Structures are given as C-alpha cells and as structure tokens.
Amino acid sequence: MDQNSALKSLGDSWAKALASFQTLGAGEGSAPSLSFAPDKLEALQKQYISEATELWNQSLHGNPAVKDRRFSAEAWQHNPMASFAAAAYLLNTRTMMALSEAADTDPKTKARIQFAVEQWAAASAPSNFLAFNADAQQKAIETKGESISKGIQNLLHDMQQGHVSMTDESLFEVGKNVATTEGKVVFENEFFQLLEYKPLTPKVYERPFLLIPPCINKFYILDLQPENSLIRYAVSQGHRTFVVSWRNPDEDLQHTTWDDYVEDVAIKAIEVTQDIGGAKQINALGFCVGGTILSNALAVLAARGEKPVASATFLTTLIDFTDTGVLDVFIDEAFVKYREGQFANGGLMKGKDMASTFSFLRPNDLVWNYVVGNYLKGETPPPFDLLYWNSDATNLPGPMYAWYLRNTYLENNLIKPGTAKVCGTTIDYRKVDIPVYIYGSREDHIVPIGGSYASTQVFPGKKRFVMGASGHIAGVINPPAAKKRCYWTGSDITFPKDAQQWIAKAKEHAGSWWPDWADWLKAHAGKQIAAPKTYGNKKYKAIENAPGRYVKERASK
C-alpha cells in the first residue's frame, strides 16, 4: 500500500464516521437535533490528515510508537502490520471522540453519543481479534496451537455458565474462604437474614451497629477476607455488629416493591437490632443502594415521630440524583415507561443483565480484557476474591426496580419534600436531624463524587464528608494495614453547594479513611459495656451460622 492509498483509506474512515454521526440527527419526530460547526469540522479534518500523514511516515522508518497497554506486549512492537493497525485504530478513536465532543446538541444526546463511541472503540480494538492480535498469534505459535484449543474450551465454559469469567470461580466458596467472619443468623423473613457477629473485644459500645449493603450485590463485599473486611474491622473496634444479608429474589418475590424493602428490611432490621442490643438507639450504615434505602427508612421513621438511629453513615450513596454520571445515558421517560410496563404484573430484573450493564461502563477493563485473555490467549484468569464477588449476580424484583428508576434517576423525587411517597407517608429529609458521615470515592464511575457529596446539602444535622481515592469498590475497601491510597477531609461546618469548591480546600491524608470513620463512630456509640456471650436474645434466637443460606443462593440464568 502506497502513501496515497493509505491516506485515502484513512480519509474514507473519516467520511464514514461523519456520515454515521449525521444520521443520528436524522429521522422524524423525536430525533434529537444534531449539527456540527463547519469551522470545527474543518479543524478536525486537517488535524486528522496531518496525524495520518505523520503515522504513515513513521511506518516507513520503523514501527509507529503506540502508547496503550492493550498493545504494549513485545509482539506488537516487532510486527509492522500489527503496530500500524494499532496506531491507526488509536488515531480513528481519538478523532471519533473529538467529533463527538464537537457535536452541537443537547448535553444528554452528546453524552449518549460519547458513550456509544466509547463502546464502539472498545469493541473494535485490533487486540480483540486473533487475526490482528500479534501477541495472541505469537502465543499460538509458541504453544503449537494449545492456547487456541484452551481458548475455545474457555469460551464454551463461559457460554455454559452465562457470563465471561473474570477469575477462577472454582477456587472460592462463600463461608469457606470468603465471608468468614464468625457469627450467627438471628432473624430472617422472606426478604433478608440478619447476621450478628461474635465480639472480638471484651467490651462493646452500648449502641449496636447495623450495616445495610446494596441489594444489587451480595453483602460479603464487606467481608471478603479477614484482612480487608470492613465488617471484621467494625467488630474489632468494639461495635456489636449486625449486617443485612439480602435474599436473592426468585419468582416468589417478583411482586416485591420498594416499600417492602424499606419497611420489611431496613426498618425491620433496625427494630430487631434495637431489641437484641437492648438499646434505645443504634448506629447504622448504608452502602450504595443500601444507603438510599436506609435514607428512606430514616425519613419514614422521622415522619412517624420515631428516632431509633443515633447516627448514619452513607458510603458512595446517591440520595440527590442530580449528578448520576454515565448511568444517566440510559435513563429517559421512554426507558422508564418500558420498564414499568414490563414489570406491571411482577417479574424479575435479572442479575446477569445488570451485571452486563455495569461491566460495559468500563468495557476495556471488565469485558474485552477477559475476552482477549480467556479466549484469544487461552489463559485462566488468576484467583481474585473481589472479581468472584463481582460475578455473583443478584436479581431485583421488577416492581421495586421500576419505582426506583422513576423516583430517583428520572425524577429525583427523594429530595423534594412531600413528593415521594414511601410506606404510606411522604418523606422529607429535613426531618432526619441526626449526625451523618458521608463518604465518596474520587474516581467512582457509578456514584460520581459530586453525587455522593450532594448528600451534604440534604440533611440538616451535623455532617462529616470524606473523599477517598480510587473507585466505587476499591475506594471503600481500603483497610489501614494495606497502607494504600489516600483520603481528603475538610470543614465539618461549611459545605458549599459545589463539590469542587470543597475539594479545592480539602486536606489530603495518606492511607485509609477507616480510622477517621472509626473515631467519628465511637463518638456516637455511647459507653462501653461487657460484650455479650451469646447471640440474639429470648425473642430472636440463633438460626444458623453466618453467612447464612440467603447469600449462597445464586441468581438464575
């Protein structure tokens, strides 16, 4: 291929890209308005031709420089065709992203275009195809085809299990080498089991501590291994600790509502924890959607004139859904109406579908990375407890899911006093006047830092906001002993509306945020009393060993 042919090929790619964008604005009726300023298009085209010319000249004098970890293996650097394909792909990707940024349209349409381009770019990478992946080809030659054979076996295995393997799942078992903190199930109903953990200190604080994890995942993200277990850490700090273990919904729970999850899980768990602990008040923590459910429970209880929770902790939780990040691209009136119609007579939102959605929020890391490793190279992914948990999908009751979509992501009703009706009463967060500890992760792609920070504007009582490094899970699960990452603290009195203003004045600290939270929680935990020697009480007796039956139930395929 000569220079003119190469440039013509790249020019054709530009023309096709522009044409595909222009068709997004075509159509009748409800199609979004989409146009491009001529000067921006001209500048982009000139830049594209310039970079394409430079790429071709580089290829004439050696392999083009490619800075991307997908093409970092030595085999890519020694294969001229592969390195040129990778460099051309990266050029086209940069141009498509720049084109999406240049689109003149409303913000939501632009976000959707950018998301679509990112998905296209991730899926079309040369590394995803054996015909172009120099590293996979070299491995096939070195193993005399064994890697291809193993890759086919891996593909058939994953097709049978219904999802891409991110780790060797055969090496993990809930209750054996994950979720091993000692305790008992002390209450259960059709929606959840309540776990009480064995004290690790001779004395405990008089106010019991209840954790409500997200219902879209299994609770043992908070109890993976002893060394990174937030549950075990809380117990070691002297808190009599209880945890909600959600039932993995099946057809029996297909009519379950949001009200059921608030009344019969969160409020019931608070009541049982109070009773077993013999305490007028408890402390509570909600993680992600568990935090949203906890906030609703507190608002319902406040409307009833009850105040059984002395303090609340919210970890990477959305309560004000103004800033929802990339997930907003999926939500509009048509989508929510479709889900409401789908679940009007009950049904289940399948766990595998939700898992796929969350994986494609980070497609290179959570999808194509494993496609390449598992299938093209025939590798077995290494054991990793976090990824085993990530693959342990949970269903959601359809009616509950549909209510949640409309009242949170679509209409943001929870923060509008007297608008959202939960458990027979309208909720008003201005009545939830208790101390709260709010944590957000700086690189969170599910609950953006602005979304978690927005809770500082919701509650009227004393507040503490802390920002941790990393993402939705890694930022939360950051034990002190690991001596990793960092966190930021700021004023506990002044909380500007814009999160970036708070961040600009925040102070950075090395290590885990857990000790900061532990110090805060102790101040609200009351005096210390002798640790109990038995689980439960006369009314609520131990049923079975932790982690219980419910957490072991797998989502149907």
Token pair listed for 416: 């509008």
Cα–Cα distance measured from residue 443 to residue 451, given in angstroms and rounded to the nearest whole number? 12
Where b means 16+ CB within 10 Å and e means fewer, 311-321 reads bbbbbbbbbbb
**What Å distances lie between residue 297 and 220, 389, 415, CA to CA?**
22, 27, 14
Cα–Cα distance measured from residue 350 to residue 341, given in angstroms and rounded to the nearest whole number? 16
User: What are residue 510's DSSP bridge partners?
Assistant: 486
Cα–Cα distance measured from residue 262 to residue 239, given in angstroms and rounded to the nearest whole number? 24
Question: Could you say which of 215, 288, 423, 486 is catalytic?
Answer: 288
Cα–Cα distance measured from residue 557 to residue 551, given in angstroms and rounded to the nearest whole number? 17
486 is catalytic: no
Cα–Cα distance measured from residue 294 to residue 285, given in angstroms and rounded to the nearest whole number? 8
**What Å distances lie between residue 502 and 404, 450, 461, 506, CA to CA?**
29, 10, 18, 6
Cα–Cα distance measured from residue 389 to residue 366, given in angstroms and rounded to the nearest whole number? 14
Cα–Cα distance measured from residue 383 to residue 122, given in angstroms and rounded to the nearest whole number? 25
Cα–Cα distance measured from residue 282 to residue 306, given in angstroms and rounded to the nearest whole number? 13
DSSP track, 209-275: EEEE--TTS-GGGGSSSGGG-HHHHHHHTT--EEEEEE----GGGTT--HHHHIIIIIIHHHHHHHH
Token pair listed for 148: 């291809």
Helix (H) or strand (E) holding 97: helix 80-102
Cα–Cα distance measured from residue 284 to residue 136, given in angstroms and rounded to the nearest whole number? 50
> Residue 386 in 3-state DSSP?
helix
User: What are residue 528's DSSP bridge partners?
Assistant: 205
Closest to 405 in 3D by CA, of 350, 327, 352: 327
Please identify every residue annotated as catalytic.
288
